[in-house]
Amino acid sequence: MIRNNEDKVAAMMDKTFALRRLEVVQDAPMVADFKARWPGLFNVREVKAEFKRITTVELQSKFFLQLDAHSENLMKVFARKGGVLGKKIKAVMLPMTRADSIDVKRECILRGLTVYLNEDPQKFVKDYTTDDQCIERDLAETVFGIYVIRHNGADPDDDPEDIGIVLEGVEVLSGLRSVPFAMAMFLGLVYSLNISYPPELKYTFEAVQKIIMEMEGNKLSAKVQTLKTLLARSSF
């Protein structure tokens, strides 16, 4: 019965795609208003479906396939970075040495990418423990980010209590299984809602979109072009 209902929602979302895109592009509604009007969009299945309607690309499989394909070369590039940034990269990559988990490796690489591009991963992935008293207030003030709630003292490969996505102070997805999966869903929401990347993370998202996802990659910023060149050299 649940499956049948999901299929009906998917069919309705498919039929109303053109109307929804017109509304998003022309009216640029607030996230809270758009979620109230189109609640069927705000689940994993429909975020992936909407991304495919817009781009013809399979979001989840393409994201993980490409991230894994670039992982070894990204780690080579990271390892060559010296100075303060090099130390910061080593710190965010440390959980990889403590947990034999593909999700932990992917998360470390994504956080390392942000640091390498001289941006702050904590401005995007917000880490909390179940003991924190400020979670609701912080999320209500968050314009753009992923939140991770872990048990106090949890190991890197322990399952978090919750992982979700917040846009304009609105929790738009929750119960996600990993930070890398949340990153993929975030990219899907960016396209679905036609929202701009935050300035403080513009290089991270440019690299994810244009290098990892290979989308709209004809024109790159100097910083991301340098990274792409170094990755190409590292493959030899």
The predicted-structure confidence for 190-227, as pLDDT tens digits, reads as follows 999 999 988 899 999 999 999 999 998 788 999 999 99
Q: How many residues does the chain have?
A: 236
Helix or strand run (H / E) with residue 153: none
Name the CA radius of gyration of the chain, rounded. Answer: 18
Report how far residue 126's alpha carbon sits from residue 146's, in angstroms, rounded to the nearest whole number.
6
Is residue 198 within 8 Å of 144, Cβ to Cβ? yes
pTM beyond 0.75: the answer is: yes
Structural domain harbouring 229? 2-234
Could you give the number of structural domains in the chain? 1
The predicted-structure confidence for 41-81, as pLDDT tens digits, reads as follows 999 999 999 999 999 999 999 999 999 999 999 999 999 99
